[in-house]
A and B are shown apart, each in its own frame.
Chain A
Amino acid sequence: MDHRARKLSELVAQHYELLYRYAYRLTGSEADADDLTQQAFLTAQVKWDQLRDENCARSWLFTIVRNAYLKQLRLPSCLPSSALDQVAEPPSPDELCDVDGEQLQNLLNDLPEEYRSPLILFYFEDFSYKEIAEHMGVPLGTVMSRLSRAKAWLRARLTTPELISASDSKMDA
């Protein structure tokens, strides 16, 4: 195995899990996440020479996944960004509703991608605000603003059972 192949296999071993989880939360589909993850590593293999600093490999891979996802994206997000402004403080009770991963995914799917991506990366707890901003290609302030709005919106949905069920059909307002 040559040097590049060895490095690639290291890259796969180190990042494939998080990359797949990101791709899954981005797309909401196992098959799409599978494809995106594979596509990311294949692209990395082809464009290996573009990677100047191996410390940036993770963020490079995540950017490849996001770009590939955006390229495939055909339908606009169901939820316009303005809908995030209509979020109130989460009501009592403060306990998280009995939500499973699928319902969380449905809510994430309703978020526009520019809010969904930073939110996923934030909850993965592996990315700093700066890294998220670089990944999204936007200023730090923009990322923090989007995160605030998306988190508030998600919390409100997850703590209000009516909103969870309503989200399936009413996010195109």
Chain B
Amino acid sequence: MNERLPQHNRADCRAARRVLEWARPGETEALPLAASNRHVESCPDCRAALERNRQLDLKIGRLCRDVPLPADLQSRLLAALQIPSDAAATDRVSKDGPMSVEVAAASVKHGPQNRLWLRHSVLAAACVFVVLGAWFVIRPPRPTLNLDELTAQVIELVDPQALPEFAVGDVPPPPRSMDTRFLRIPPKRLPGDSAALYCFRFKTPRGRIIEGRLLAVPVAQLKNAPTSSSFLGRPAVYLAQGFCSSQWAEGGYAYVCLLKGGESDLNRLLPASSVAM
């Protein structure tokens, strides 16, 4: 090699051939092609070697790609994937080239599968609507009442007896943990609320008259239900205008017993401890 052209050394030939070997259409950016081409133009040996290799590569490439395909390969592959081999998409791809994303999307949009999907979606939405509607109808009422505010209202009432009586609906029953002999039944209704108000009156052994009120509210409507579960289960609380009270929850209702006096007077309302008038 290069004996006829002494101006070229073997290193130049190797470098130029390597560069031009790697040169492929679209992949020549990083290669020093200009210098290699100049060398090859002036080096017949390199020109011959490169042409020989190019021809060899063409033949090897043809041989390499010449792999006979099994006749039913595509249909077997589709069968393995459980895809119908006569599917429209396959036909379109094999005849007209790859289907574009837009065309595929359009096919999906108008296909029977999509209509089925649409029907299922509408049905599901209707079911959700019905369930939500039913829940809205049968759901338990949201707690809206504040027991402390109700108690304050009751204290402000000058004459609870002037309240209208309970006309309809469930009347909160008298509590069991309190002596209810003195309650006036039926209870009264607070304006705008579902709370019931019993009034009571009794005389102490020394002849003092005690008047009071018993507020009853469904626990489910309260934002702040009492934690005690029986009358005077917790120490009495002193409120405005000389009232003393006990709060508790019993049988699904919250009760507030109020009277003007002290805890000792409340104690008289423990079962069978007071004298009826």
A-side residues, CB < 8 A to B, are 1-3, 5-10, 12-14, 16-17, 20-21, 24-25, 30, 33-34, 37-38, 41-42, 45, 54, 89-90, 94, 96, 99-101, 104, 120, 123-125, 128-130, 144, 148, 151, 154-155, 158-159
Contacts and interface: CB of A to CB of B under 8 A. Distances in A.
Given A9-B78, A124-B64, 5 more contacts: A2-B113, A9-B89, A12-B78, A12-B83, A148-B21
B56 A128 contact: no
A118 B152 CA distance: 89
B27 interface: yes
Contact of A123 (B61, B69, B93, B98): B61
Interface residues of B, number: 46
B53 A155 contact: yes
Contacts, number: 128
Contacts of A25: 64, 67
A163 to B, nearest CB: 14
Contacts of B80: 38, 41-42
Contacts of B84: 1
Interface of A, secondary structure class, is helix
B211 to A, nearest CB: 76
A148 B15 CA distance: 12
Given A90-B56, A96-B56, A104-B63, A129 B93 contact: no
Contacts of A12: 74, 77-78, 81, 83, 90
